[in-house]
Structure 1
Amino acid sequence: MSVPPLRIGVWAPVHGPRAALQDPAEPFNASWEHNRDTVLQAEALGYDATLVAQHTVNPHLPDHDQLEAWTASAALAALTSRIEIIAAIKPYLYHPVVLAKMALQIENISRGRFAFNLVNAWNRAEFEKAGIPFGEHDERYAYGREWITVVEKLIRGESVTHTGENFALTDYQLTPKDLHRARPRIYLGGESEPARALAADAADVFFINGQPLEDVTTFIADLRRRPRTLAPLSFGLAAFVIARDTEREAREEYQRLAALAARDAGVRAAQAARTDPNVVMVKTFAKSERVGTNGGTAAGLVGSYDQVAERIRAFHAAGIELFMLQFQPLTVELARFAREVFPRLGRAAPSRVDLRQSQAG
């Protein structure tokens, strides 16, 4: 099966640094200005997408700043011209009608560059402290299945009449509909059986947390075996990158970040106490030491520029279309990767003008 062209994206810094919270090279900054500048820098450098994770409260440091994903995505849609903007969404937080209307609005602001990433949620405290129901793992996926069924029809511009366990709509239609394509793209992440089943039925792109190539290959094979009525499913991978001139230099930087991350042990313990123990990705993360979130360096993108490029090509050959990358310190490494690794992947390196524009952003 042919693989779509390689795309490279970056996680927006919605809740601060991804690897270590006490890094002198990257002070905590989850502000709108920092997120705006990061995405504008990424676009100027030639990155293809950005993922804006959704949390109402900072999942690591509850007393620290947290960017609001959907209002920020609307603003980014107006400020950018090429990059795909992917906003995460937790179904319990928005009624399908409200979310579908917001998605269509951002889609039209961006002129067809918007997508959303359906996530099951794991942070119990984010919901329970607000008095929002937080069902058990499989209950959340059943809710999400009905939710996305309604949303998908609404964002297609259909008139929707629906009676289900959670929602009831009568002849509900949203205008203007998508002015640029049939509907925005739908991403979905998760590792459990309900997540995989829902991805096969409703998603356009399945996001996989950072893992070794053999595990990712198994994931892709499993999803490709499943019956599907939509176009063939595409795949994305989260990964933290440390790329340097030599493997030794990359390993030294890994050790620096790992030592800093060790200082966050108390934060991680508190976060674990707020996490639904039935979330499969937590069990996956426990299998390996790593730097970064969502699997981080478990994907193995730590090494020389040539090594990192070779590993990305191997993942791409296995079926990964979109690499959603993390870096620290973010702005410096974002530019380094574009300058050094893009050409090794057959992509144009940023010009001096692009580099200056990214730094100005």
Structure 2
Amino acid sequence: MSAKPPRFGIWALVHGSRAALQDPAEPYDASWGRNQTLVLEAERLGYDSVLVAQHTVNPHDASLDQLEAWTASAALAALTSRIEIITAIKPYLYHPVVLAKMAQQIEHISGGRFAINLVNAWNRPELERAGIGFPEHDERYVYGREWISVVDALLRGEVVNHRGDNFHIDGYQLRPADPFRARPRIYVGGESEPARALVAAHGDVWFINGQPHDDVARLIADVSARPRPVGQDALRFGLSAFVIARETQAQAEAHLEHLFALAELDKPLRERQKANIDPNVVMIQTFAQSPRVGSNGGTAARLVGDYDTVARRIADFHRAGIELFMLQFQPFEADMQRFAEEVAPRVRRLLFA
């Protein structure tokens, strides 16, 4: 079991609903106003973290709205007082010196509540149409590993002299330094072999995509056994999951079937999107193994059922080593409140009563 109590976070709705885009109960809304209200309510309800995914254009349909992650995160840092703000970054979109300075500034605005989520990209048009290019899977991880090594050192306040394949940096140092801790926390996503090597070397928390308990336990065992840099704390683990919790199992399964039916309306859009995704991304291969709703594994983690069943499954994941549960819902606001009031207290009783 994780040595730390479970934490619960939410995915910001940066590109609208997570399970189905054409839901009468949750009209499409990726606006700053909705996300601001959502995150402030999550903080009020006791959620510990918010993950702000980064896309410059909507990955489902370029004609749909898309929240900008880094400017929104800076605003959230100023508006909130307790919740951790985790912002995703695709290394090819920002030079490491520029990104490190932005991250350091949001760390100061938040009072030490900021974190980076390193994502090595999967949506081809986002980079190609900007003229950046879209290297092969493993090459993206080579680039990402060099990139994060520079960002890490800059965030620690070090004087950086770096000669690599992609960056040449001479005597760079960022000020003011972080007065709250050594540097903001670094989350890493991805489950391929290069991703696992990267997180073991540079990550603080590994984000695992939603999938069954035994598969998650095997992933944790694999990466936990890998060597860490001298002086680095033990790696911690997070899990993405879509939750459907209701008073009864039948009610939860009925809502799941409802979301499956709504998701069918998005099928033409998903088929177009599929052509833009790198087929070598392990996340995509994992998703193909079972039907699900939600992104990043969604309901594949099987957090669907009555309140007690969902709480028991979360407790089992925690005992396997998951500390942070990054959650999705639909309808988001109503089910986020339901989870905070009905499921989270049950989890804590199971683990600590």
Q: How many angstroms does 1:134 deviate by?
A: 1.5
Q: Which residue in the other structure is 2:214 paired with?
A: 214
Q: Which residue in the other structure is 2:343 paired with?
A: 341
* TM-score, structure 2 as length reference: 0.97
Q: Is the Cα–Cα contact under 8 Å of residues 2 and 322 in structure 2 kept in the other structure?
A: no
Asked whether 1:319 is paired with 2:336, we answer: no
Q: Which residue in the other structure is 2:241 paired with?
A: 239
Map 1:99-118 onto structure 2 (within 5 A). Answer: 99-118=99-118
Alignment root-mean-square deviation, CA: 0.8
Structure 2 residue identity aligned to 1:263: L
Q: Is the Cα–Cα contact under 8 Å of residues 117 and 188 in structure 1 kept in the other structure?
A: yes
Identity of aligned residues (%): 68
CA distance in 1, matches of 2:119, 2:262: 29
Q: How many angstroms does 1:3 deviate by?
A: 2.8
**CA offsets per residue over residues 181-240 of structure 1, 9 Å max, x none?**
100000000010000000000000000000000000000000011111221000000000
Q: How many angstroms does 1:2 deviate by?
A: 4.5
Map 1:155-194 onto structure 2 (within 5 A). Answer: 155-194=155-194
**CA offsets per residue over residues 277-321 of structure 1, 9 Å max, x none?**
111110000000001110000000000000000000000000000
Q: Is the Cα–Cα contact under 8 Å of residues 244 and 304 in structure 1 kept in the other structure?
A: yes
CA distance in 1, matches of 2:54, 2:146: 20
Q: How many angstroms does 1:346 deviate by?
A: 2.2
**CA offsets per residue over residues 108-136 of structure 1, 9 Å max, x none?**
00000000100011000001111012111
Structure 1 residue identity aligned to 2:245: A
Out of 279, 283, 290, the residue aligned to residue 277 of structure 1 is 279
Runs ≥4 residues deviating over 4 A: none
Q: Which residue in the other structure is 2:33 paired with?
A: 33
Q: How many angstroms does 1:342 deviate by?
A: 1.8
Query: Any idea what SS the aligned residue of 2:22 has?
Result: coil
Q: Which residue in the other structure is 1:128 paired with?
A: 128
Q: Is the Cα–Cα contact under 8 Å of residues 78 and 109 in structure 1 kept in the other structure?
A: yes
Q: Is the Cα–Cα contact under 8 Å of residues 3 and 320 in structure 1 kept in the other structure?
A: no
Query: Any idea what SS the aligned residue of 1:171 has?
Result: strand
Q: How many angstroms does 1:20 deviate by?
A: 0.5
Asked whether 1:11 is paired with 2:21, we answer: no
Asked whether 1:66 is paired with 2:66, we answer: yes
Query: Any idea what SS the aligned residue of 1:115 has?
Result: strand
CA distance in 1, matches of 2:196, 2:270: 27
Q: Is the Cα–Cα contact under 8 Å of residues 3 and 317 in structure 1 kept in the other structure?
A: no
Count of residues paired in the alignment: 347
Query: Any idea what SS the aligned residue of 1:216 has?
Result: helix
Q: Is the Cα–Cα contact under 8 Å of residues 3 and 316 in structure 1 kept in the other structure?
A: no
* TM-score, structure 1 as length reference: 0.95
Question: Which structure 2 residue ranges, 5 or more long, are not aligned?
Answer: none
CA distance in 2, matches of 1:119, 1:249: 35
Q: Which residue in the other structure is 1:330 paired with?
A: 332
CA distance in 1, matches of 2:190, 2:38: 26
CA distance in 1, matches of 2:288, 2:3: 30
Question: Which structure 1 residue ranges, 5 or more long, are not aligned?
Answer: 348-361
**CA offsets per residue over residues 55-79 of structure 1, 9 Å max, x none?**
0000012101000000000000000
CA distance in 2, matches of 1:79, 1:181: 21
